[in-house]
Structure 1
Amino acid sequence: MSLAPGTPVGRYVIRRKLAEGGMAEIFLAQSHGPEGFEKQVVIKRIRSALADDPSFVQMFIAEARVASKLNHANVVHIFDFDRHEDSYYLAMEYVRGKSLAELHRRARLLQRPFPPVLAAQICLEVARGLAYAHRLTEHGQPLGLVHRDVTPHNVLVSYEGAVKLTDFGIAKASNRASTAGMLKGKFAYMAPEQARGEPVDSRTDLFALGITLWELLTGARLFDGDSDLAVLRAVQEREIRSPSAVSRAVDPALAEVVMTVLQRDPARRFQSATELERRLLTYVIGAPRAPEDTDVGLFIRSLFPDEAAAEEDTEPMGPLQLVPGVGPTSSRPQPTAGSGGLQQTRADTYGRLLQRTLPSGSVSPVLEDEALAPTRPPPSRRSSAATAPGGRQSVVTEAPVEETRVLAAQSGARRRRTILATLGLAVLLGVAGIAFLAGRTDSRPESFPPERPGPAGPLALAPPAPPRAPEAPAPTPPAPPRTDAPATPPASPGLLAVKAQPWGRLFVDGKAAGDVEGSRRYPLAPGTHTLRLMNGKKTRTWTVDIESGKTVTREHSFLEE
């Protein structure tokens, strides 16, 4: 069962789902604390279907143990590890950006070549993170840590240009045993010794990073095939062409670095990630012609302008508030008197505030003019709600915590009422004074000056005009009876679930519907639709009948063709 927005998970509250894979779900969440402290995190949670698999649970716990030891600018930080209900979860750093795989795919869709200098810059950052992980020690002894899954999907690039390696889920320390001959990792990014099930070391990660760099420079896949077995055979046997022979934009000096790291014999590769990092850094220092040439953030923002702008325009979420009595609450202790923290509010059925509890512990009634403002935030404010068992609702809203703001609002309302009362009293006194003076004038007619004689002769008065008869309103013709039949409400849409491995671009009735990587769902109108899923030159087509309120699933693996 997935986690709905507003669900408390330990000391975090779920905001929304970010991604979903075959083994885990990824959520954006927020932690909060006293004095307005807040921090966005990512929650990685084992899928419920795998929570009962001891081997997978142990692998997830091993990831937590390994990742908790890592603290480097080029590695995603792990903040917490705990259990929620029947599943384990990791709380990790939230990187506002895209994966390197998404970055590369968008560049291909826009037909923009990936600048070689930027490709080298990104990969030297990854090499720097790997160098740190490879030399990690415990109690003075080297762990011999190997990532074993260095792929574009596991390299995150922020909109500000930060590069971070993530997902140490299958990382292996040399002092821990593993099953002989077991293959772990993505086949297209495996080193030959890893594909053969032989022992791996730090040089295995360098080969995988070399594949990633080769593909960024050329825009093509280095190892592919019609099946997993064909991909593994290509890793072992296919000729590796120099990237400068595939693309003229690649400098021969950079191509030499790539070809060294892609040697099938580990002894002929660079012997450490630090050595690779230094070779790439030497190239990056000498190649750029302007500072913008190595600005990774500028490049990713140019590829995803709308997404980057949306992240920049997002206002702070503010402290989370679980409205009491209407849904599940967190197990965190309530704020005590004198401490900052969450406010409790009580509202009527129209969402108007009736009372609130201040951080000092006192209950403050809401003035009438304040109560007119609903507690539900406008669309521009962040809020979410989740339905709990039993039909109750847990509302997550943003609430200020400064008591002074409440007191200021009360003081302002009192000041407004005082001003209005003073103005009303002044008006009443003015009216009474005028009436008093008028009474004195009527009782003393001699005070008026004598009338001056008017002109001789009678004064002719115009006869009064006869009153105008009110105009009768024009009769309104009766509306003709409606003969059209009542409109039939449109049928509710159905759902199309598409699963593609490794990825594909979906067309529905000839119109592009976006890329599918893993699985995606699309609401479609009831009826017959034609689907086309493409991966390069490979194509898979279907004809599906969508029914209202029902889900139709289609899946295809291009790896098996």
Structure 2
Amino acid sequence: MDKRPTDAAGTQLPARIGRYRIESELGRGGMAVVYRAVLDGPRGFAKQVCLKRILPGSADDPLMVEMFEREARIAATLQHANVVQLFDFDLHEGTPFLVMELVEGPSLWQVFGAACAAGRPLPPDVACGIVTQVLAGLHHVHTRTRDGKPLGLVHRDISLHNILVSRAGEVKVADFGIARATQLGERTRTGVLKGKLAYIAPEYAATGRADARADLFSAGVVLHELLSGRRRTPPATDAEGLGWVLHPEFQPLEELRPDLPDALAAAVRSLVARLPGDRPDDAAQAAALLAAAQPPAGAAEIARCLERLLPAGSTPPAEPTRPGSLEGSGGTLPTPSPFDPTLTRRPTGAELAPPLVRSEFTPDASTAVPEPPAAWPSRRHRALWVAGGVAVLIAAAVAVWIVPGPGGAGTAAVHLRLRPHLGPLAGAAGRAGQGLRPSLHGPDPADGRD
């Protein structure tokens, strides 16, 4: 009788889930667990796969099940070398699970962390080669059709965490748990903003709607981080984060990396433009823009760079973490995706030790760049600017009704309403604006009028 595999704590893992034999646990979060598994067949056939299963405690949550099923529906429409492939979707003892391609290699987050630990950013051709492959995968996602009609797929969660790099230098876009497809019956709940704060496009934060150009913004943030060696670290509070997302600022690559071609810095600047109309029209155009500015490295060179940074059999460098929980750090917006890779992604190589659970604040920029230039605004000045931006946003996002009070024309009541699609961010702005909701000698406006 075969010995049952165990997790890091020594707890026995299930021997099988459906027709898949479980070999080891790759990662676990609050809502899902990820296994390395094998599909066995006759005459010695065996295929290694990645199996994701909702944890028992989350299987009764309709939202979690909906997210899981959404990922299956969307991933089933995709077939591209730069997108993690879905092989199967089934139920085991009433709990759904996904079976996907197993990528032997680290996440781009771990590659970035290794580069930070080495004290230097990725070479520009390697960084552009990685993002060019990401854009190729995104172009496939964005251009899927059904019966001749665009599916309207948008990933909405492109980040260092959701990009995998194989040992062969192949780059894969992963984790479609919060992707959206307008033609597959998908819809976003009012007031729910999904994704990681550092990568969210301003128009998505402002309106709750996103098209393919929002994914281009996220890819541009990834490229800026890879080239600069600096994380785009969100502010510590939601109130600051609101203005920070709606009015993104990036220190110019010309200042951080004077060795880079001007055309490359300009290409990155266009990807992270605040207005979607100022970005490339689609992922193919963005890839062409990058290729014209910096010839991208191919898979072989990416593989060699990966081997230098994270040799096979080595342990990834420890990643610094910010004290406190993920939810309380202000670095990650609440997301209902059961596959948040900040909690579940581990290296698939058996020889690599699992990384620490970490927040969006890591690796910190200081691991790569000792200190920012003197010209960069002070934290106090940035805080004042952000506070002003939040005040302007509150003023723009409210509706004011003047209603007659019992005292006649000189009596009024003021009612403020925040735009509901700002979701979690609106809550912070709302709390900041509570003091601006007075009743001027008249009745409380919450009298049935809306």
TM range (shorter): 0.5 to 0.7
Residue 101 of structure 2 corresponds to 93
Structure 1 residue aligned with 2:230, among 207, 220, 240?
Answer: 220
**Aligned: 1:295 with 2:314:** no
| Map 1:378-389 → 2, pairs under 5 A | none
Q: Give the aligned partner of residue 232 of structure 1.
A: 242
1:429 matched to which residue of 2? none
How much does 1:36 deviate?
1.2
State how far apart, in whole Å, the 2-side matches of 1:144 and 1:54 are: 24
Which among 54, 71, 89 is matched to residue 81 of structure 1? Answer: 89
1:265 and 2:275 are equivalent in the alignment:
yes
1:276 and 2:286 aligned: yes
Contact 1:73 1:129 survives alignment (8 Å): yes
Which range is displaced more, 228-237 or 207-216? 228-237
- Structure 2 counterpart of 1:181: 191
Structure-to-structure mapping, 1:50-89, within 5 angstroms: 50-89=58-97
Q: What is the TM-score with the length of structure 1 in the denominator?
A: 0.54
Alpha-carbon distance between aligned partners in 2 of 1:94 and 1:218, rounded to the nearest angstrom: 30
Does residue 516 in structure 1 map to residue 367 in structure 2?
no
> What secondary structure, in the 3-state scheme, does the structure 2 residue paired with 1:260 have?
helix
Separation in 2, partners of 1:269, 1:246 = 22
- 1:48 corresponds to which residue? 56
Q: What is the CA–CA distance in structure 2 between the aligned matches of 1:308 and 1:283, rounded to whole Å? A: 34
Tell me by how many angstroms 1:228 deviates.
Answer: 3.9
Q: 1:77 offset after TM fit, Å?
A: 0.3
CA distance in 2, matches of 1:514, 1:198: 35
Structure 2 CA distance for aligned equivalents of residues 534 and 254 of structure 1: 24
| 1:160 CA displacement | 1.0
Contact 1:160 1:297 in 2 (8 A): yes
Q: Which amino acid in the other structure matches residue 51 of structure 1?
A: A
1 or 2, which has the higher strand percentage? 1
Q: Which residue of 2 aligns with 1:136?
A: 144
Question: For each residue in 1:179-237, what CA deviation from the matched residue of structure 2 results, as whole angstroms up to 9, or x when unmatched?
Answer: 23320011111000112243110000000000000011111123521124433321222
Query: 1:26-64 deviations in whole A, cap 9, x for unaligned?
Result: 110001101211110001111222111101111110110
Q: What residue in structure 2 maps to residue 19 of structure 1?
A: 27
2: CA distance between counterparts of 1:518 and 1:4?
25
Write the mapping of 1:106-505 to structure 2, written as runs, cut at 5 A: 106-175=114-183, 176-285=186-295, 295-307=301-313
Change (3 A) 1:191 1:136: same
In structure 1, the residue matched to 2:17 is 9
Alpha-carbon separation, structure 2, partners of 1:92 and 1:71: 12
Which residue of structure 1 aligns with residue 410 of structure 2? Answer: none
Distance 1:308 1:67 in 2: 32
Say if 1:515 and 1:45 are closer, same or farther in 2 by CA, change over 3 A.
closer
Deviation, structure 1 residue 306: 3.8
Superposed CA deviations along residues 435-467 of structure 1, whole A, max 9, x for unmatched, are xxxxxxxxxxxxxxxxxxxxxxxxxxxxxxxxx
Deviation string 1:8-29 (CA, Å, 9 cap, x unpaired) is: 1111000000111222111100
CA drift of 1:148 comes to 0.3
Q: Deviations over 1:120-163 (max 9, x none)?
A: 11001000000001000112211010000000100000111010
Equivalent residue of 2:290, what SS? helix
The 2-side partners of 1:231 and 1:117 are apart by 32
Q: Which has the higher contact order (CA 8 A, sep 6+)?
A: 2
Inter-partner Cα distance in structure 1 for 2:255 and 2:130: 22
Write the distance in 2 (CA, Å) between the matches of 1:534 and 1:183.
Answer: 24
The AA in structure 2 aligned to 1:516 is L
Aligned length: 328
**Contact 1:48–1:86 (CA under 8 A) maintained in structure 2:** no
8 A contact 1:121–1:284 mirrored in 2: no
Whole-angstrom CA distance in 2 between matches of 1:142 and 1:95: 29
Q: For residue 515 of structure 1, report the CA deviation from its aligned partner.
A: 5.6
Displacement of 1:284 in angstroms is 3.8
* TM-score, normalization by structure 2: 0.67
Distance in 1 (alpha carbons) for counterparts of 2:282 and 2:245: 21
Q: Tell me the amino acid that sits aligned with residue 221 of structure 2.
A: I
Contact persistence 1:159–1:308 (CA under 8 A): no
CA RMSD of aligned residues (A): 3.1
Deviation per CA, 1:355-407: give whole Å up to 9, x if none.
Answer: xxxxxxxxxxxxxxxxxxxxxxxxxxxxxxxxxxxxxxxxxxxxxxxxxxxxx
Tell me which amino acid in the other structure corresponds to 2:293.
Y
Which residue identity does 1:517 align to in structure 2?
V
Partner of 1:406: none
* Residue identity in the other structure for 1:300: L
The aligned amino acid for 2:56 is S
The SS at the match of 2:154 is: coil
Sort the Cα spacing of 1:142 and 1:534 in 2 relative to 1 into closer, same or farther, 3 A: closer
Q: Structure 2, unaligned stretches of length 5 or more? A: 1-5, 316-323, 332-341, 344-352, 368-427, 429-450
Distance 1:122 1:191, change over 3 A: same
What displacement does 1:308 show? 7.1
- What is the one-letter code of the residue matched to 1:83? L
Listed one character per residue, the Cα deviations across residues 101-120 of structure 1 (whole Å, up to 9, x for unaligned) are 00000111122321111101
Distance 1:515 1:156 in 2: 15
Question: Which residues of structure 1 form unaligned runs of 5+?
Answer: 310-497, 505-512, 520-532, 539-559
* d(CA) in 2 for partners of 1:535, 1:308: 22
Distance 2:314 2:102 in 1: 15
Which position in structure 2 is the counterpart of 1:364? none
Which whole-Å CA distance do the structure 2 matches of 1:251 and 1:142 have between them? 36
Q: CA deviation at 1:169?
A: 0.5
Amino acid at match of 2:126: L
Cα distance between partner residues in 2 of 1:58 and 1:6: 24
Instruction: Choose 231-240 or 210-219, whichever is displaced more.
Output: 231-240
Once the 2 structures are TM-superposed, how far is the Cα of residue 247 of structure 1 from its aligned partner?
Answer: 1.6
Distance 1:224 1:16 in 2: 35
Q: Distance in 2 between matches of 1:76 and 1:257?
A: 27
How far does residue 6 in structure 1 lie from its aligned partner after superposition?
5.9
Q: Quick check: which has more Rg, 1 or 2?
A: 1
* Secondary structure class of the residue paired with 1:295: helix
Alignment-derived partner of residue 28 in structure 1: 36
Q: Once the 2 structures are TM-superposed, how far is the Cα of residue 98 of structure 1 from its aligned partner?
A: 0.3
- The one-letter code sitting in structure 1 at the alignment partner of 2:280 is F
CA distance, structure 1, for counterparts of residue 137 and residue 229 of structure 2: 24
